[in-house]
Structure 1
């Protein structure tokens, strides 16, 4: 049996070894290395926010484009195409991530995103636009699986919730960037709108070049190496991280808070094992994850993908001004995870997840009734949505945190992908198409019904978390869900 943290190279099938890699990662003080991980990997959510907001902000311009001239229903369908691509990409790349490693896949997915986003700017009809949006979604979906798993595995346990919510919340930094860009590209005095909306997609894709440069400095997840029978490599990666942290910390690193884990070399998690864990051994966590993901996906995608259409159709806001209304909405969504995130590590997951889902659900139902009655101006509607999603944003981010923490390391990326895919398919793909159809009907009562449905689903998720939620704050990933390769005496 190898010494803890000192095994050399891989181990043979069935051999037992010890490693203190998890304890060493969790004891690290906060450092520049962690900021690098957040910047290089967390940018995924910023890109997703940019993509989604561009379509939302540019919806009217794309609708009015002489070369595309999409109907409101087609705009909703292209949003659904993006999400279909995200579902397929998440499943395919999630499967590869658990087998080939986090690092290899998050390079592949960002390249796919880059090329597809640029191609979107050269679309010539509905079908080409929808196809390129689907490919862009596939890249982003794959990113969710590879990046979420890598971040959770390299951030210390005491800050995992705070960081995960903040990183997911940066979706809205991208949304603000997309909204700000729309104000420029849709201003006919600055650029022809037909060129402007195309340029927005091309520039957005080109930003991925910076991401690839940053990711060169992010190592493979030591936890992934550990569970794949490569403790020597995992140890060397952590040695390098500790060396840099120690030099900047200026004093000895804190002591380990728990002991080594015993692992046995085994093959990849099989599909049968994954199904058995999700449907039998961890059935309650599966129900919880599905509910949280599906409900937040419907609420978010239904509202946000049709945000611009509501403002233009019911409040008469010019398409060139939509960005001014999305900016405060994006700011509220970004602020929610940043301000409430630390409470998920202090007060705890269960109380905070339940509270944020419930508050946003109740407010959504109330705002739907106010909209139906015609009580609000466009700005008052924007303020209402901003407040609602201040709470809904950390709730949605916590869904990703929950599914990532729920299952063993060997299937973490695939688990994230499965829940993201199911939640997106059930809540996300149907949501934009449904709301696009409701808006096209032109009756406020129809939209109010959509708001009530979204709010009711958030309340359902709150109740499910209260009943089935579990305590994961400040615990190691291995303590929450033992690796399949963990060796038990």
Structure 2
């Protein structure tokens, strides 16, 4: 089959249709941030007598958090595989439904085992969201805007974190809600917001890129045609002709063995890049956010009930970073910006560690330092998701996102806390400074890797960045190995 669908999608101007994609798919990250932050902040309330749930604070922040992380890792891998096999739309509807049901059941918890089970299932749904949605967004958004949109959407997690931090202050106030009701209503609010997103998401179409490779070429052509007519009517002008065509062998499915071989053999340097970016940002974030409450209360005497305000400020800095820097990833370019948003925050965190160790910071100035570090680091962390969602072939995209997300989440949610818990809670300034330095060092190392291996993907078609496995030799487009020195994959995936 010869098609111009990719070129037709990439030459579209920004429109109301694209806004619908962003709202329908991207806003779930806000729910994720709201969910994780809220649970962390209500841990103390859940352990109090009269909360309606027999559970300790350590179980909420330890066992329940670990199960949420495990669920996210497994959900990403499971739903990522299904997304590449059965399509983006089916799976991003299923994963949101799983999230909504599990969140609702969490709010009805009557026992610790029930709470643990549905925290795991909530993570399972959220992990699947990362794979299904990142692949769909990158395939639907024009190449000119892909970088900034992807960064801002992934960074919107922190907008939810701001809401979660402030919401917990209100919902846990016993002047407004009883002890056994306020925390349940926070989960109910998440369900309500998720249902609103579900209503919008119904109108988000299947990825035409997925359709034409998996034997639905006519549906892809019809869908893109309807979008083109809608946009021409909105803009009151004719669209320019598409830049080119590709020829592919339509396939119903791609074997897991071929996916693994493609990602880890044919694109091994890009795989090293993806792992470096995810591990670097995971350790930096855990060095700061995992023990931020303990650091503020231990070293500066901040009341535990007031740490939510500090976290809201840090979360705001995290969201502003991708919002302000996102456009530069499409203009200055991926290599410079990815390397910069890893190395700069790493260096700044080294400086913060030095100032902290010598006692030069207060609670406010330390928070200010964190905000500056995370302003850059948040854009870098979001660029990790952008990178793995655009530098591998179409047929492997969701599974690649799932794998690297699972590795990053496992490192951040398991290894990070084990390493940083004792360092940040010991009460010794040198130990906490060491935690900062570990995160900073790995972040800088990932930035150096990006400086050498990052792919110049800005404003380029996904098919040009990584040739589809189903594409034939007579098609135009760049061979898979370009931009990173990888061994090319054979043109025809038989």
Tell me if TM exceeds 0.5: yes
Rounded Cα–Cα distance in structure 2 between residues aligned with 1:131 and 1:299: 29
Matched, 1:83 2:61: no
Matched, 1:463 2:448: yes
| Contact 1:284/1:468 (<8 A) preserved | yes
Change (3 A) 1:438 1:122: farther
Rounded Cα–Cα distance in structure 1 between residues aligned with 2:435 and 2:62: 14
Change (3 A) 1:269 1:357: same
After the TM superposition, which of the residue ranges 390-399 and 169-178 deviates more from structure 2? 169-178
| Contact 1:56/1:307 (<8 A) preserved | no
Structure 1, residues 427-452: CA drift from partner, whole Å, max 9, x if none? 33222343334444443333222211
Given candidates 182, 204, 212, the residue that maps to 2:168 is 182
Q: Secondary structure of 1:311's partner? A: helix
**How far has the Cα of 1:34 moved from its partner?**
0.5
Structure 1, residues 329-377: CA drift from partner, whole Å, max 9, x if none? 1211111101101110111000000011011111222223333443322
Rounded Cα–Cα distance in structure 2 between residues aligned with 1:51 and 1:429: 19
After the TM superposition, which of the residue ranges 301-310 and 40-49 deviates more from structure 2? 301-310
Matched, 1:139 2:139: no
Given candidates 283, 291, 294, the residue that maps to 2:276 is 291
**How far has the Cα of 1:459 moved from its partner?**
0.7
Q: How many residues align?
A: 472
Structure 1, residues 90-128: CA drift from partner, whole Å, max 9, x if none? 000000001111001111111111121222223345544
Query: Residue in 2 aligned with 1:11?
Result: none
Q: Secondary structure of 1:342's partner? A: helix
After the TM superposition, which of the residue ranges 460-469 and 64-73 deviates more from structure 2? 64-73
After the TM superposition, which of the residue ranges 370-379 and 325-334 deviates more from structure 2? 370-379
**How far has the Cα of 1:64 moved from its partner?**
4.7
**How far has the Cα of 1:313 moved from its partner?**
3.9
Q: Secondary structure of 2:248's partner? A: strand
Structure 1, residues 221-279: CA drift from partner, whole Å, max 9, x if none? 100001112110100111111121111011111332x2111111234221211121122
Matched, 1:40 2:40: no
Rounded Cα–Cα distance in structure 1 between residues aligned with 2:424 and 2:107: 26
| Contact 1:60/1:308 (<8 A) preserved | no
| Contact 1:110/1:208 (<8 A) preserved | yes
Query: Residue in 2 aligned with 1:55?
Result: 39
| Contact 1:80/1:432 (<8 A) preserved | no
Change (3 A) 1:436 1:368: same
| Contact 2:38/2:186 (<8 A) preserved | yes
Query: Residue in 2 aligned with 1:10?
Result: none
| Contact 1:76/1:436 (<8 A) preserved | no
CA RMSD of aligned residues (A): 1.9
Given candidates 313, 322, 338, the residue that maps to 2:307 is 322
Rounded Cα–Cα distance in structure 1 between residues aligned with 2:154 and 2:71: 20
Matched, 1:259 2:218: no
After the TM superposition, which of the residue ranges 70-79 and 107-116 deviates more from structure 2? 70-79
Query: Residue in 2 aligned with 1:366?
Result: 351
If asked which structure has higher relative contact order (CA below 8 Å, sep 6+), I would say 1
| Contact 1:91/1:421 (<8 A) preserved | yes
| Contact 2:64/2:119 (<8 A) preserved | yes
Query: Residue in 1 aligned with 2:95?
Result: 109
Rounded Cα–Cα distance in structure 2 between residues aligned with 1:240 and 1:418: 34
TM-score, normalised by the number of residues in structure 2? 0.91
Rounded Cα–Cα distance in structure 2 between residues aligned with 1:219 and 1:439: 46
TM-score, normalised by the number of residues in structure 1? 0.92
Change (3 A) 1:118 1:298: farther
| Contact 1:263/1:485 (<8 A) preserved | yes
| Contact 1:79/1:305 (<8 A) preserved | no
Query: Residue in 1 aligned with 2:480?
Result: none
Q: Secondary structure of 1:247's partner? A: helix
Rounded Cα–Cα distance in structure 2 between residues aligned with 1:160 and 1:33: 15
Query: Residue in 2 aligned with 1:20?
Result: 4
Given candidates 329, 348, 355, the residue that maps to 2:340 is 355
**How far has the Cα of 1:305 moved from its partner?**
4.1
Q: Secondary structure of 1:407's partner? A: coil
Rounded Cα–Cα distance in structure 2 between residues aligned with 1:216 and 1:225: 18
Any unmatched runs of 5+ in structure 1?
A: 1-16
Query: Residue in 2 aligned with 1:98?
Result: 84
Structure 1, residues 152-192: CA drift from partner, whole Å, max 9, x if none? 00000011001111111111111111112012113233234
After the TM superposition, which of the residue ranges 305-314 and 344-353 deviates more from structure 2? 305-314
Query: Residue in 1 aligned with 2:267?
Result: 282
Given candidates 320, 324, 331, the residue that maps to 1:346 is 331
Query: Residue in 2 aligned with 1:122?
Result: 108
Q: Secondary structure of 2:223's partner? A: helix
Rounded Cα–Cα distance in structure 1 between residues aligned with 2:328 and 2:148: 8
**How far has the Cα of 1:71 moved from its partner?**
4.6
| Contact 1:229/1:265 (<8 A) preserved | yes
Query: Residue in 2 aligned with 1:248?
Result: 234
- Describe how 1:421-436 pairs up with structure 2 within 5 A: 421-436=406-421
Query: Residue in 2 aligned with 1:158?
Result: 144
